[in-house]
Chains A and B, each alone.
Chain A
Amino acid sequence: MGVSRVYLDSGGSAPPSRRTSEAVRAGLAEGWADPERLHAESRRSRQVLESSRSAIGEILGCHAEQLTFVPSLTVAFDRVIGGMHRARRGRDRIVVSAVERDALTHAARFAAGEENVTVIPVDAEGHLDLDALAAALDVPDVSLVCVQHANQEIGTVQDLAAVADICTVARVPLVVDATASIGHVPAPEHWDALIANPADWGAPAGIGLVALSPRARVLPAWPDGQGLDAGGAPVPFALASAVALQERAESLEDTARRLYGLVDRVRTEAAAIPGVDVVGDPLVRLPHVVTFSCLYADGEALVTRLDAAGYAVGSGSACTSDVLEPSRVLAAIGALTHGNVRIALHPGVTEAHVDGFLAALREVVDALRSEAGVSADLPAASPVADAAAGVAQEDVASHPAQVEARPSDASPSDDGEAPSITWPALG
């Protein structure tokens, strides 16, 4: 008998719903032809693309004409940043936050030159240093500012309204990477260019989405000299992106509220394991994303043993990637980088799944520490448990990602009181 599977690694790769799978088939039936030709079959493909863009535009709060499908996320970053930078002739510098995706930072370095990229630091919870951003924009040589809506690893949501104010005063366009947030929380409102990742909300991989404001200017900074779309994306995947986003939008608030509570539970219970560092803002965060690091545990071993126990998770530890460097996000916030577990929940994840995962986690972490001979060398459980435990699910206002930290009037958690944590000696 096989182990039943629980998939907790949905960041940028969420399982497709039945409706989304059906949309791929329908998209192939209706939109198999090249949409760029002059006959009826091509026109039908174009229609599928058009209706997909309209449906997505409605959800994102922009016009269909502002949206472009591109063949991948990396292409989206390359073309948006390269093209907007080039259109700002005479301004050499790109400003990025320290927690942007590698693909975005690489695109900025390639477009402006490594020495012309200014990295703005973040605090220990991953919030951008707004004073440092304003100071960086004091010099009139900045072409673009790139700040993500929310972080794909730690979940922290940035104050984009404040970022946009600073950019507006300095008259510098703002590129917002919303690849971790769209499909999970309401789309951001403040941007000149917006980048989204349909695979993050359950569409097939192999398509990216770009939205440009009417005032955004792009000049080709690539060999083909064509538009942003880099040859376009598969029409069936465009349709699937729209259908999947519609499905997410229909139950956005309910799903966000439920997953926010499940992540609260993971944060609290992971932090209650001695020597576990749970990071990111406990309140102003994505509903479905959490990461933590387990002292003395090997990241690769954690992922493979949890996998063997039926749980698919990610990791930002160096040993789990093909580069020697650990996650730049963990480095930027000063978090422990080894023994890292990264989780992104999809709407099908239940409380029972999370409970099973937490039990498996405790077992695997205990076993790895015992094998390393350091079971007795652990600090007490980390204080983040108190912060996270203070917020009940019901306490999340109209939208979880929009709530402000209000520790003073946070109500107690489900069981009526913040857990007092006492742990038996291990081993």
Chain B
Amino acid sequence: MTERAIVDARGMPCPRPVIELAKAVRGLSPGAEVAVLSDDPAARLDVPAWARMTGNAFVGVESPDDGEGDALVVRLA
């Protein structure tokens, strides 16, 4: 099963969700997934842009288990 880390960045304004994402991927293996939970409109744009700039893959937008905000999922290259 794919390893999936969760970064709960809800309530954090830009660029905090992406900063927390950068910290969360340290030490994770290629193929691992990270879901950034965010309610910041800029994160919807900036998490995919982070993936493009860092050579990782943006998987898509999901709904978090508790339904609040977005779950922005990336997969590490």
Chain A positions near chain B (C-beta within 8 angstroms): 275, 277, 293, 295-299, 317-319, 324-326, 330-331, 334-339, 372-374, 377, 379, 382
Contact assessment for A379 and B55 in the assembled complex, using a CB-CB cutoff below 8 Å? yes
Contacts of A325 in B (CB 8 A): 41-42
B49 near A297 with CB under 8 A, answer no
10 nearest A-B pairs in the assembled complex, by CB-CB distance: A338-B15, A336-B49, A377-B22, A338-B14, A379-B54, A318-B42, A326-B42, A374-B22, A337-B42, A337-B45
Residues from chain A with a CB closer than 8 A to the CB of B19 are 296, 372-374
B54 and A296 contacting across the interface, CB-CB below 8 Å: no
Q: Residues of A contacting B42 with CB < 8 Å?
A: 317-318, 324-326, 337-338
Write the B3-37 contact mask toward A (1 if CB under 8 angstroms, else 0).
00000000001110011001101100000000000
Chain B residues near A277: list those with CB within 8 A: 49, 53
Q: Write the nearest CB–CB distance from B1 to chain A, whole angstroms.
A: 26
Complexed CA–CA distance, A299 and B26 (Å): 24
The minimal Cβ–Cβ distance linking B57 to chain A, given in whole angstroms, is: 14
Please determine whether B18 and A337 come into contact, CB atoms closer than 8 angstroms.
no
Check A335 against B26 for contact (C-beta < 8 Å). no
Majority secondary structure, A binding face = loop
- In the complex, chain B residues whose CB is within 8 Å of the CB of A335: 45, 49
Which chain B positions have C-beta within 8 A of A297?
15
We find that the number of chain B residues with CB closer than 8 angstroms to chain A is 21
* B 41-77 to A, binary, CB cutoff 8 A, 1 in contact else 0: 1100110111011110000000000000000000000
CB of A319 within 8 A of CB of B46, answer no
**Shortest Cβ gap from A139 to chain B (Å):** 30
Distance, CA A297 to CA B22, complexed state (A):
12
Give CA–CA (A317, B54) in the complex, Å. Answer: 20
Main SS class of interface, B: helix
Q: Report which of B13, B25, B41, B53 forms a contact with A336, defined as CB distance below 8 A.
A: B53
| Cα A296 to Cα B46 with chains together (Å) | 10
Contact of B14 among A319, A331, A334 (CB under 8 A): A319
Docked complex Cα distance between A275 and B13 (Å): 20
Question: Of all chain A residues, which has the CB nearest B52?
Answer: A334
26 of the cross-chain contacts (CB-CB < 8 Å) are A293-B49, A296-B15, A296-B19, A297-B15, A298-B15, A318-B40, A319-B14, A324-B40, A324-B41, A325-B41, A325-B42, A326-B45, A334-B48, A334-B52, A335-B45, A336-B45, A336-B49, A337-B42, A337-B46, A372-B15, A374-B22, A377-B22, A377-B26, A379-B53, A379-B54, A379-B55
How close is B70's CB to chain A, nearest CB, in angstroms? Answer: 14
Q: Given A336-B53, A374-B23, does the pair A295, B45 have CB atoms closer than 8 Å?
A: no
Whether the pair B41, A339 counts as a contact (CB closer than 8 A) is: no
Interchain CB contact under 8 A, A338 and B41 = no
Chain A residue numbers with a CB within 8 Å of B13 are 318-319
Residues of A with C-beta under 8 A to B46 = 336-338
Q: Given A337-B42, A377-B26, A379-B55, are A295 and B50 neighbors across the interface (CB < 8 Å)?
A: yes
Check A295/B53 contact, CB under 8 A, given A325-B41, A338-B18: yes
Contact among B22, B40, B52 for A296, CB-based, below 8 A: B22
CB distance from A53 to the nearest CB of B (A): 43
Complex formed: what's the CA distance from A336 to B50 in Å? Answer: 7
Give complex CA distance A65, B55 in Å: 55
Q: Nearest residue in B to A379 (C-beta to C-beta)?
A: B54
* Closest B residue, CB atoms, query A331: B45
Closest to B13 in A: A319
Nearest CB of B to A297, in Å: 7
- Chain A residues with CB under 8 Å of B45's CB are 326, 330-331, 334-337
CA gap between A295 and B46 in the complex, in Å: 9
Q: Which residues of A contact B40 (CB under 8 A)?
A: 318, 324
Looking at the assembled complex, report how far the CB atom of A324 sits from the nearest CB atom of chain B, in whole angstroms.
6
List the B side residues contacting A334 at CB < 8 Å.
Answer: 45, 48-49, 52
Chain A residues lying within 8 Å of B52, measured Cβ to Cβ, are: 334
* Contact among A296, A299, A330, A373 with B18 in the assembled complex (CB-CB below 8 Å): A296
Contact A318 B26, CB 8 Å, known A295-B53, A326-B42: no
With A and B bound together, what is the CA distance between A295 and B14 in angstroms? 11
Whole-angstrom CA separation of A334 from B44 in the bound complex: 10
4 more contacts with CB within 8 A, not counting A319-B14, A338-B46, are A318-B13, A324-B41, A330-B45, A377-B25
Which residues of chain A have C-beta atoms less than 8 A from B25's C-beta?
A: 377
CB-defined contacts of A336 to chain B, threshold 8 Å: 45-46, 49-50, 53
Asked if residues A326 and B14 are in contact (CB atoms below 8 Å), the reply is yes
- CA–CA, A374 and B16, complex, Å: 11
